[in-house]
Structure 1
Amino acid sequence: MRASLSLAAIYTAATASAFQGFNYGSTFTDGKAKTQADFESEFKAAASLEGTNGAFTSARLYTMVQAGSTNDPISAIPAAISTKTTLLLGLWASAGDATFANELEALKKTVSQYGSQLKGLLAGIAVGSEDFYRRSPTGIANGEFSGADPNTIVKYFEQVREVIENSPLANTTLGHIDTWTAWVDVSNKAVIDACDWVGMDAYAYFEKTTPNSISDSKERWADALRATQNAAGGKPVWVTETGWPVSGKTVGAAVPSLENAKKYWDDVGCPLFGKTNVWWYTFQDSSPTTPNPSFGVIGSTLTTKPLYDLSCDNASSGSSSSASASSTSTASASASTAVPTNGSGSGGSGGGSANLTGSLSPSASPSSGTGRPGTNGNVSSPTTTPKIVPGSSAATTSFSIVILAGAVVLAML
C-alpha cells in the first residue's frame, strides 16, 4: 500500500503544475486595441468561470507588441502580473525579419520593464505560430501570408535566446506552435530540434477529409496527438489550440452547436485537465461581432457564465488516454519555468488547423487572409497528406519516467 501511494504521489506531483488557459488576441473583433484594463477584466472573468473551480488562470499570447504601437510590450503582460495570470508569450514570425525585429524589441523592453515581476508567471515563449502551415499548399490556397521556413524560425530561436540570456527570463523554455500536419512534415524537423517543447494546434472540426462528426472527434484528436508525439521524438507536446465551435458553418460532418461544443469539452478536454499544458480556443471571440465559426465559451458580453456547462462531472476519465500518457513529460517542462496557481490543462482534437490571420496588427483567433493573428474570421485546415517523421513516442518516454520514479521510491521504502 505504501508503494502504491508513493507512486500515485509521484504521478500527481509530476502533473500538478500543468497550465490551463485560453488564447487571447491583442484587439477586439472591430480592431480596437485591448488595454491593460481590458486584459485584466478578461483574465479575471476567465479565472472565475462557473463550473471550472478557478482553473483557467493562464493566457497564451500571439505577439509581444501592443496593438497600435511599433514595438511597445503588449498590455496583457502588466495585466497578467496584476492578476497573477501565467503567460505563454508569443512572437509573431510570419511577417518577415523587420516585423520580427519589432517583436524582439518588445521582448527586450519586457525584460527591462517587467523581468523580475514575471518570476513564476511564465509557462514559456513561443517563437512563431503556424508559420509552416501558411507555407503549405492548403495555407497558400486559403490566401495565407507567406509564413516562414524552418531555417528562419531556427534563426529566430537563436535571436530570442540571445535576448533573454542572463536575464530574469533566462530559464524560460522555448517552443514553436504549428498544426499537427506541419509537425509530421520531415522538412520541419530542424525546428523540433531547436524546441524545448512542441506546441500543437488541432481541430477535429476541420478534418473534412476524414470522418469528423462530433462522435468521431475524440478519435481524430487522438490521431493528431499520436502523430505529433511521434514527430516530437520525446519532447513535451503542449496543446496550444483546440476547441469546437458553438455556431457557424458545417464542415464535412462537423456541426457547430452548444451541445457538440459541450461534448467535445467533456470527451477531449476534461480527461486532460491537470495533466498537460493546454490553452483552449477560446474564451471570447465575439466581442463586439460574432465570427463564423465562433468558438468562444462565452458570448459577446464579458461574463463568468459560460454558454455551456464547463464542469467535468459527466466526462469520461479515459477519453484522452494518449495525451494523459504524455502528461508527465509535458508537465515537467512547464514546472521548470513556473508553477501556476490552480493549474491544469484541457485537450485538443484532431488534425485541423487554425489560420491565425486578419488585422494589420497582431491579435488572435482563427481567421484567414493577411497572415497575422487576426481577431476573427474563417478557419480552414490542412487537407494535404503530410510526410511522416519517424520518431519515438512521447507517451513511451513519459511512461518510462514514471516507472523510473516509482522504482526510486520503492528502493527507498
Structure 2
Amino acid sequence: MYSFSIFLTAATLASAQSKGFNYGNLFTNGAPKQQADFENEFNLAKNLPNAPGFNSARLFTMIQGGTPNTPISAIQAALNTDTQLLLGLWASAGPESFNNELAALSAAVQQYGTAFTDKVVGISVGSEDLYRNSPTGIAAKSGPGANPQDLVNYIGQVRNLIAGNALNGKPVGHVDTWNDYVNGSNSAVIANIDFLGVDAYPYYESSKSNAIDNSHQLFEDAFNAVKGVAQGKPVWITETGWPVSGPQSGAAVANVDNAKRYWDETACSLFGNTNFWYFTVQDAVPGTPSPSFGIVGSGGGAPLFDLSCPA
C-alpha cells in the first residue's frame, strides 16, 4: 500500500464517496457541449472496463455554453445517468460574470429541485483563480484570475444563496493549485471554505526532478503540504493525471506507459481514500490537445491503457 493513506484524516475519510473525472462545457474546438454529449461522457466513464467505478463529475461552470446564464445541461445528463456532481462556479471573469453563475445555480435548483441537489457532493467557488493571479500564472499567460478577497466575497455570496434553498448544508470550497494554497497570502480563502480542492500535476513541476520515477513522491509532497495549511478541513483531489501524449516537461515524458504507471501508483492509491476527480476521461474531441491527458482517445473505444489497479 502506498504511504499516501497514512496522511488521511477522519474528516477526509468521512467524505470519501466520489470517484470521477473533470468535464468542461466546451469541446476542444470551442463548440458548446449539449446534454447528449454530457450523457455520452458520463456513460463512458461509468462503463470503463476494469475501472474502479466512476460515479461523479466535476464541473467548472454552472452555465450552459453559448448562453448568458442558462443552467448547464450536464445537470440533466447527471440525473439521467445517476452521476454525482461537484459543482463549479467560474470566478475569474469579474463580478458580472459571477452574478450569471449565481443566477444559473439558483435557476438549476428551481428547475430540477431535490433530484438535482441530492446529487451534489459539493460546490466549488472558482478554479485555479489564485494560480492565474500569481506571478507564475501571469508569466505562463494563463489568463485573468482573482485575488483572495474577491474569492472570499464570492464564497459569501454562494453561502447566502444556498441558505434559502435545497443546497443548504452542502460543503462550499475552492479549487486551486497546491502551491497557491501554501502561499500564506491566500490564507483568507482557506479560512472561509469547507473543503480544499487541490490540483497537483508532477508532470508540470519542471523545476524539480519530475521524471515518472519521482512522480508519486512529488504528488505526496504536494498533498501533505496542503494538509499542513488546511486548518483541519478536508482536502479533496480535484485534478491530477499524467499525459498520454505531448511535449516533455522537464524530466517528465508524456506517453501511455508513463500514464499507466502514474495511474497505478498515484490514482489507485487515492480511490476510496478521498473524494477524487481524475483529469481526464477524454480530452481529444474533436482535436487532440497537447499535452493530452485523456485516457480514451478521440475515436472513443477502449481506454489507452489498462485501468485495473495493482493488487
The 5 Å alignment of 1:349-364 reads none
Instruction: Select the residue among 293, 305, 310 that pairs with 1:308.
Output: 305
Count of aligned positions: 301
Contact conserved, 1:201 with 1:241, CA < 8 A, in 2? Answer: yes
Equivalent-residue separation in structure 2 for 1:52 and 1:139 (angstroms): 34
In the alignment, structure 1 residue 126 sits paired with structure 2 residue 102: no
Task: State the shift of 1:259 in Å.
Answer: 0.5
User: How big is the shift at 1:140?
Assistant: 0.6
2:53 is the alignment partner of 1:51 = no
**What residue is the counterpart of 2:41 in the other structure?**
42
- Secondary structure in 1 matching 2:113: helix
Match of 2:205 in 1: 207
Describe how 1:240-279 pairs up with structure 2 within 5 A. Answer: 240-279=238-277
Identity of aligned residues (%): 52
Alpha-carbon distance in structure 1 between the residues aligned to 2:142 and 2:272: 35
Instruction: Map residues 12-411 of structure 1 onto 2, 5 A cutoff.
Output: 14=13, 17-53=16-52, 55-303=53-301, 305-314=302-311
- Listed one character per residue, the Cα deviations across residues 234-279 of structure 1 (whole Å, up to 9, x for unaligned) are 1100000000000000011000111000000001011111111110
Paired amino acid for 2:279: Y
Structure 2 residue runs without a partner (length 5+): 1-9
Q: Is the 1:111–1:164 contact (alpha carbons within 8 Å) kept by the matching residues of 2?
A: no
The Cα shift of 1:138 comes to 1.2
Distance in 2 between the 1:119 and 1:163 partners? 14
**Alpha-carbon distance, 1:301 to partner:** 2.1
Q: Is the 8 A contact 2:191 2:231 kept in 1?
A: no
1:395 aligned residue = none
- Structure 2 residue identity aligned to 1:44: N
Do the aligned residues in 1 keep the contact of 2:24 with 2:60 (CA within 8 Å)? yes
Distance 2:118 2:309 in 1: 28
- Name the CA distance, whole Å, in 2 between partners of 1:17 and 1:118: 20
Take 2:98 and 2:165, find their aligned partners in 1: how far apart are those partners? Answer: 20
CA distance in 2, matches of 1:242, 1:168: 31
Within 1, Cα distance between the matches of 2:86 and 2:117? 13
Aligned equivalent of 2:5: none
Judge conservation of contact 2:109–2:117 (CA < 8 Å) in 1. Answer: no
Query: C-alpha distance in 2, partners of 1:97/1:16?
Result: 31
CA–CA distance in structure 2, aligned partners of residues 166 and 117 of structure 1: 17
Q: Higher Cα Rg: structure 1 or 2?
A: 1
1: CA distance, partners of 2:15 / 2:230: 23
For 2:180 and 2:267, the matched residues in 1 are separated by 22
Report the TM-score when normalising by structure 2: 0.94
Does the 8 Å contact 1:95/1:145 carry over to 2? no
- In the aligned structure 2, how far is the partner of 1:16 from the partner of 1:59? 16
